[in-house]
Amino acid sequence: MDPLDLVGAEPGPARTILFDGRPVPALPGQTLAAALWADGVLAWRTTRTGGRPRGAFCGIGQCFDCLATVNGRPNQRLCLLPAEHGDAVTTQEGHGHGDLAV
């Protein structure tokens, strides 16, 4: 049994996103975080001070742990962003850049 079987899901063909340059499949309707989890990836950021790996924690947009750079834009919450074909996710180190605007 897997989650797709459980609910009888029949999604359309997977899209491809890039994680640090590597192709990863994403089902239509999944967020970037969900696509990465499905691929076994749990971390896509390192922290500012300790350089520790982080990924999704709360899953609903509240903890801001799931930040990464998407298509060049840093500090994006991957648990909220729908995965679009060709999206390039790169592991974000620290702030991503100096500007902390959302």
Partner 1 sequence: MATSRSEAGPIRYDLAVIGAGPAGLAAADAAAALGLRVALLDAGARLGGQYYRHPAPELGAARPEKLHHGWRTFDRLRERLAAAPLVDHLPEHHVWAAERGEHWTLHATRGPERADRATVTARGLLLATGAYERQLPFPGWTLPGVVTAGGAQAMLKSGLVLPGRRIVVAGSGPLLLAVASSLAAAGARVPAIVEATGYLGYGRGLPVLAGNPAKLAEGAEHAARLLRHGVRLRRRAAVVEAHGTDRITAVTVARLDARWKPVPGSGRRIACDALAIGHGLVPQIDLAVELGAATVTTADGTAALRVDAQQRTSVPGLWAAGETCGVGGADLALAEGVLAAHSVAGKPAPARELTVRRRRRGFAALMAAAHAPGPDWTGWVTDDTDVCRCEEVPARAVREAVTELGAADARTVKLLTRAGMGWCQGRMCGPAVACLSGGPLGGPDSRPLSCPVPLAQLAEPDEPFVQ
Interacting residues with partner 1 (CB under 8 A): 1-12, 27-31, 33-35, 37-38, 42-43, 47-50, 52-65, 73, 79, 82, 101-102
Token reading at 65 = 């742990």
User: Applying CB under 6 A, which part among 3-11, 34-42, 50-58, 82-90 lies near ligand FES?
Assistant: 50-58
For residue 6, give the 3-state DSSP assignment. helix
Token reading at 71 = 């298509």
26 contributes a contact to ligand FES by CB under 6 A: no
From the CB of residue 93, how many other CB atoms can be counted at a distance below 10 Å? 13
Q: Which of the listed partners (ligand FES, partner 1, none) does 27 bind, with a CB threshold of 5 to 8 Å by partner kind?
A: partner 1
Name the residue with tokens 């491809």: 16
For residue 38, give the 3-state DSSP assignment. helix
37 contributes a contact to ligand FES by CB under 6 A: no
